[in-house]
Amino acid sequence: MTHSSFLAPLSEELGILHCHGADAEKFLQGQFSNDLTSLPSPGGQWSSYSTAKGRMIANFYLLRDDDGFWLLLSRDLTETVAERLRKFRLMAKVDIEDASATHALLALWGAGATEALGNPGGEDALARPHAGSVRNGARIVRLPWPEPSFLILASGDDIASWGEQLRARGAHEATGADWRLGSIRAGIAFINAATTEQVIPQELNLEVLGGISFTKGCYPGQEIVARSHYLGRLKNQCYRLRAHAPLAPGRAIFSAAMGEQSIGLVIQAAAVGDGSFEALAVVRAEDAEHSTLGLEAQGQVPLEKLELPYSLPLQKAAEAN
C-alpha cells in the first residue's frame, strides 16, 4: 500500500541564514541556546537567540554540514537576526549571509514521505529525528514530528530538480500554510516579527524539544533561562489551541478568571479548512489548566485546548519530582 506524502515550498514561511568561516562554531556557540559542539555534520537541532534579558529574538532550526551552519527561521526576522549577529562578531572570522535569494527550502511530510524521498545517504541515514544527509546538491534533515517529515535545502537549480523528482514519486502539492499547520500539530512554533522579544525559550517548550543546553558556556540570556530551569520559576508554557475565529501571531489571550488582563499570546496560527483555526500560544499555566480561555475578555470567542505530542515543561518537571 502506498501512503500519501505532501510537498510544499517554504519560501514565504522561512528565511535562510548561512554562517560559515574559521570561527563560526566558536562565535555561534556563544550566541545561541543550544550546544553546537555536539551537533554532528550533517545534522540539525532546535535553538534560539535571545536578548540579555532572556527574551527570544528568534528561534530556529539549525542545520550543520561541511559548508557551515544554516539557520532556518521566520522569513520576517532573517535580516534582523543577521544584522544583530554581525554587530557582535567583532574580530571573529565568520561570514553571516542571507541565503534566501540563492537557496530554497522544500518540506516533505506524511506517511509516505520516506518512500518518496528514496534512500539518500544510506538506509539508516535519516531514520532518527535531527539526522541529516547530503545528496545531489541538497541537505536533507529529518524533523522530530510524529509522522515522517523532512526539510530539503538546496540552491535554486537543485531545489527545482528535487521538486520534480518528488512529484514524480507521488508527492502531492501542498502550501507553506499546510506545513505550518502540521508544525503546530507537532508542537513547534516559530517566533516572528509580531512576537519577537516577548517570551523566553522555555515558554515555547524549547527545553522539552531539546533546544536548550544547560551545560554549555555563556550566551545572551543564559542567566534568565537557567534561573527558570533550576529554581522552578516557569509560569507560562506553550499550548495548542483551536478557535472558530481567526487567530494570528501576537493576538492576546484572556481567561474568565482574569477579566481584562491578558494571560497569553498567540505565537503561530493556521487555518484548518473547516472554518476553524489552530495555534500554538504561550499562556499562563494556571489559567490554561483551571480557567476558560478566550480571544476576548470575559470568555468571548472561546478557545479549546488540544493535545500535543509531548509532555509540557511543567508536566515533565512534576513527573521528575
pLDDT, one tens digit per residue, over 4-15 is: 999 999 999 999
- The percent of residues in the chain predicted with pLDDT above 90, rounded, is 84
> What's phi and psi for 122, nearest 5 deg?
115, 165
Burial profile 162-187: b = 16 or more Cβ within 10 angstroms, e = fewer = bbeebeebebeebebebbbbbbbbbb
Q: Which domains does the chain have, with CATH numbers?
A: 6-185 (3.30.1360.120), 235-320 (2.40.30.110)
Which stretches does DSSP call E strand in 81-224? Answer: 95-98, 103-109, 132-135, 138-142, 149-155, 172-173
* pLDDT for position 198: 98
Tell me: pLDDT of 3 over 90. no
Nearest to 44 by CA among 145, 162, 117, 118: 145
Mean pLDDT of 86-104: 96
Say which range, 195-209, 279-293, 299-313, has the weakest mean pLDDT. Answer: 299-313
Q: Note the pLDDT of residue 256.
A: 87
Please state the pTM of the whole predicted model: 0.94
DSSP single-letter state for residue 103? E
The mean per-residue pLDDT over the stretch 126-145 comes to 94
**Rounded mean pLDDT of 229-235?**
81
Going by pLDDT thresholds of 50, 70 and 90, the confidence category of residue 298 is low
Q: Is 33 left (phi over 0), alpha (psi -120 to 50) or beta?
A: alpha
pLDDT above 70 covers a percentage of the chain that reads 95
Contact 309, 299 (CB under 8 A): no
- Segment 299-312 mean pLDDT: 90
* 121 pLDDT higher than 80: no
- Relative to beta strand 43-50, strand 6-9 is unpaired
Q: For every residue of 32-77, which 3-state class applies, written as one string?
A: ECCCHHHCCCCEEEEEEEECCCCCEEEEEEEEEECCEEEEEEEHHH
Average pLDDT over all residues of the chain: 93
pLDDT exceeds 50 at position 177: yes
Q: For residue 269, what is its C-alpha cell?
A: 496560527
Contact 190, 60 (CB under 8 A): yes
The answer on pLDDT for 124 being more than 50 is yes
pLDDT in tens, 242-262: 999 999 999 999 998 888 999
Q: Count the neighbouring beta carbons within 10 Å of the beta carbon of residue 295.
A: 20
Q: Are 71 and 19 in contact (CB under 8 A)?
A: yes
Q: What is the pLDDT of residues 56-78, one digit of tens each?
A: 999 999 999 999 999 999 999 99
pLDDT at 78: 98
pLDDT at 1 over 50: no
Lowest-pLDDT choice from 101-110, 223-232, 272-281: 223-232
pLDDT digits (tens, 9 = 90+) for 99-117: 999 999 999 999 999 999 9
